[in-house]
Amino acid sequence: MGRRLLVFGCAAAALLAPAASALAKTPQLLVRGATATGASAATVIDVNEDKADAAPARISIYLPQGYIANLGQSPGTQIGTVSTSVQPLALSPDAIAVAGTILTDTPSKYVGNLCAPGTHAAVWLLHLTVQGTIFDVPVYVDRTTAAETAFSSAKLVVCFSNPYEQAAPGPRAPFGVKFVETKVTVGAGVFTNPIVAGSFVWRALITPWTANGATENATGAIEAQSIVNIPLSLSLKAKVRTIRHKQHGRTTVTNSVLLSGKLLEDLRGVAGAKVTFYANGKTAGSAPTTASGAFSRRAGLTKRTALRATATVPTRETNCVGQLPASSAPAGCVAATIAGYELSSSTVTATPRQR
């Protein structure tokens, strides 16, 4: 198979969410990762566009202040996986799914690249196969400097070749590949959460190519945000209630258990989430959360039972906050989202009283 270097870059980083295409606004940035302060886990960064959107020329992903990017991996280390949806415009307008791995490389090999010149703290390769051809797509990773340090600790920059047939003077992207969605999952240990609770703003700065044109559309650069609330927690308590009935000189006992708890983001309640209960591994009903994040459900209890709860929270649209200046994103912030997730409680045990 042929091997090519496609000049393009993407971003990195967790959990579980509905399809972004169900949301109205694009482009979108969805970030999911570790749920506790100071923790590190697999982190997912998902950049979504619509097939009708102009192809991206450059995407820069900014980690919020407080996050730590751990960049000391040896060259050739696999640090994650990547899945994308692309349109090979030279062949078909239909989108196809592509998957691959993320490998570290030697930064000194990329000092002269035109998209993001200079020495980088790290370079990651998105190792993909499109139409039988292998592509190694560099992601340039750096600590932020100057004005960017006010809102970010590190950034990832990806540059995309022009997929349109009008591309000039540079070459057209092989097969006219246009990236519509890119989801990068980076393993635990690469990113570490802030050590304090809070609501943190990840940012994607996206500069498009001029649709069906030869040049970048600098005035069309937009910002998309993903709000990450830390920590996430789902508590569960089980309170056994016993009722004794006396009839005809005999005493019978009926037991029930009240399951209750709270779903919190950044120490604040999450309303409208679905909490599903499990008893000895089997589903045992559900309940919604209130405005304070509280939930409860009473159930019969006939034997010693291990109880657990999971909360399912959908992806939510929200308002952009602290937008980048017009000099960076002339077209403004177009979308802000809180990525959906599923969270489990600890297991508690309830034992009925026999008399």
- Please tell me the predicted confidence (pLDDT) of residue 21: 38
- Please tell me the predicted confidence (pLDDT) of residue 355: 64
Average pLDDT over residues 105-127: 93
Could you tell me the residue ranges of all domains in the chain? 3-230, 233-350
The answer, yes or no, to whether residue 112 has pLDDT greater than 90, is no
Structure-block tokens of residue 107: 């930064």
Q: How many CB atoms lie within 10 A of CB 332?
A: 12
Average pLDDT over residues 43-59: 94
**C-alpha–C-alpha distance, residues 255 and 257, integer Å:** 7
The answer, yes or no, to whether residue 280 has pLDDT greater than 50, is yes
**C-alpha–C-alpha distance, residues 191 and 155, integer Å:** 12
**What is each CA distance from 291 to 230, 259, 262, 295, in whole angstroms?**
18, 18, 10, 10
What secondary structure, in 3-state letters, does 226-271 show? EEEEECEEECCEEEEEEEEEEECCEEEEEEEEEEEEEEEECCEECC
Q: How many CB atoms lie within 10 A of CB 249?
A: 5
- Please tell me the predicted confidence (pLDDT) of residue 16: 35
**C-alpha–C-alpha distance, residues 336 and 99, integer Å:** 26
The residue whose two tokens read 């950034």 is: 155
pTM of the full predicted structure?
0.88
The answer, yes or no, to whether residue 13 has pLDDT greater than 70, is no
The secondary structure of 284-324 as a DSSP string is EEEEE--TTSEEEEEEE--S-EEEEEEEEE--EEE---SPP
Q: Which residue has the higher pLDDT, 12 or 317?
A: 317
The answer, yes or no, to whether residue 26 has pLDDT greater than 90, is no
Q: Kindly calculate the radius of gyration of the chain based on its CA atoms and give it in whole angstroms.
A: 25
Percent of the chain with pLDDT over 70: 93
Which burial class, exposed, middle or buried, applies to 235 when counting CB atoms under 10 A from its CB (0-12, 13-18, 19+)?
middle
The residue whose two tokens read 């050590």 is: 195
Maximal CA-CA distance, the chain = 98
Percent of the chain with pLDDT over 90: 79
Query: 5 falls in which pLDDT band (50, 70, 90)?
Result: very low
**C-alpha–C-alpha distance, residues 283 and 309, integer Å:** 9
Task: Look at 5-14, 119-128, 199-208 and tell me which has the smallest mean pLDDT.
Answer: 5-14
Task: Look at 158-162, 287-291, 311-315 and tell me which has the smallest mean pLDDT.
Answer: 158-162
Query: 44 falls in which pLDDT band (50, 70, 90)?
Result: very high
- Please tell me the predicted confidence (pLDDT) of residue 85: 93
Of 355, 53, 346, 313, the C-alpha closest to 178 is 53
Task: Look at 10-24, 155-169, 205-219 and tell me which has the smallest mean pLDDT.
Answer: 10-24
The answer, yes or no, to whether residue 135 has pLDDT greater than 90, is no
Q: Kindly report the average pLDDT of the chain as a whole number.
A: 90
**C-alpha–C-alpha distance, residues 60 and 206, integer Å:** 7
**C-alpha–C-alpha distance, residues 107 and 227, integer Å:** 30
The answer, yes or no, to whether residue 17 has pLDDT greater than 80, is no
Question: Would you say domain 233-350 falls under CATH 3.40.1710?
Answer: no
Average pLDDT over residues 181-190: 96
Return all residues near 281 (Cβ < 8 A) that are at least 6 apart.
306
**What is each CA distance from 337 to 18, 67, 200, 211, 317, in whole angstroms?**
12, 19, 12, 26, 4
Query: 10 falls in which pLDDT band (50, 70, 90)?
Result: very low
Query: 133 falls in which pLDDT band (50, 70, 90)?
Result: confident
3 state SS of 79? strand
Task: Look at 120-129, 164-173, 251-260, 340-349 and tell me which has the smallest mean pLDDT.
Answer: 164-173
The answer, yes or no, to whether residue 4 has pLDDT greater than 50, is no
